[in-house]
Amino acid sequence: MGLWRLLLHLHLALCVSLPAPSNVSISSFNLEHTLRFLPGLETPPDARFTVHILRLRRKTWRPVTACLELRAGQTCDLTYVFKDLSDPCRARVQAFTSTQTSNWAVSERFTPLSDTVLGPPDVSLSGCGNCLLLHITLPMKAPKQLKQLYRRVVLHVRRSRDGAQFDLSLTYNEENKISYLQQGVEYCVSVSVTSLTNYNCVASPPRCAFTSPPRPTSSPHILHSLLAALCASAFLLVGLLVCASRLSFSIRRQSLQRTLVTCPRMCAALHLSCPHDTLCRNQLEKSLIL
Instruction: Specify which residues 207 forms β-bridges with.
Output: 189
23-37, 79-93, 214-228 — most confident range: 23-37
pLDDT of residue 239: 64
129, 200: one domain = yes
27, 106: one domain = yes
Last residue of a domain, one of 210, 245, 270: 210
Q: Is residue 45 part of a domain?
A: yes
- 82 in Cβ contact with 115 (< 8 Å): no
User: What average pLDDT score do residues 64-68 get?
Assistant: 96
Q: What pTM value is reported for the model?
A: 0.64
Q: Is 276 or 135 the better-scoring residue by pLDDT?
A: 135
pLDDT of residue 45: 93
104, 128: one domain = no
Last residue of a domain, one of 91, 115, 139: 115
Last residue of a domain, one of 64, 88, 115: 115
Strand 32-38 and strand 76-77: pairing? antiparallel
152, 204: one domain = yes
What CA–CA distance (Å, rounded) separates 150 from 158?
A: 23
- How many domains in the chain? 3
- 48 in Cβ contact with 73 (< 8 Å): no
Per-residue pLDDT band for 150 (boundaries 50, 70, 90) equals confident
Residue 96 has pLDDT above 60, yes or no: yes
Q: Is 290 or 112 the better-scoring residue by pLDDT?
A: 112
- 153 in Cβ contact with 172 (< 8 Å): yes
Q: Is residue 97 part of a domain?
A: yes
Instruction: Specify which residues 155 forms β-bridges with.
Output: 168, 191
129, 88: one domain = no
Looking at 46-50, 90-94, 258-262, which range is the least confident one? 258-262
260, 277: one domain = yes
pLDDT of residue 24: 97
What CA–CA distance (Å, rounded) separates 52 from 61?
A: 6
User: What average pLDDT score do residues 155-166 get?
Assistant: 94
Q: Is residue 283 part of a domain?
A: yes
Domain with residue 163: its CATH number is: 2.60.40.10
Q: Is residue 243 part of a domain?
A: yes
61, 129: one domain = no
Residue 11 has pLDDT above 50, yes or no: no
User: What average pLDDT score do residues 195-223 get?
Assistant: 78
39, 132: one domain = no
Residue 92 has pLDDT above 70, yes or no: yes
109, 6: one domain = yes
Distances (CA, A) of 166 to 11, 158, 170, 171: 68, 7, 13, 17
Residue 288 has pLDDT above 50, yes or no: no
Closest CA to 205 of 245, 158, 242, 252: 158
20, 99: one domain = yes
pLDDT tens for 223-274 read 566 666 676 666 667 666 665 666 565 555 555 455 444 445 544 554 544 4
Across all residues in the chain, what is the average pLDDT? Answer: 80
Q: Is residue 273 part of a domain?
A: yes
144, 110: one domain = no
Looking at 8-17, 45-54, 67-76, 246-255, which range is the least confident one? 8-17
pLDDT tens for 118-145 read 998 899 999 998 999 999 988 877 777 8
pLDDT tens for 173-207 read 999 999 999 999 999 999 999 888 888 999 999 99
Q: Is residue 27 part of a domain?
A: yes
Residue 280 has pLDDT above 60, yes or no: no
Q: Is residue 224 part of a domain?
A: no
- Show the domain range for 130: 122-210
Distances (CA, A) of 159 to 114, 178, 189, 206, 217: 34, 13, 9, 11, 18
Residue 99 has pLDDT above 60, yes or no: yes
142, 203: one domain = yes
Q: Is residue 219 part of a domain?
A: no
pLDDT of residue 186: 95
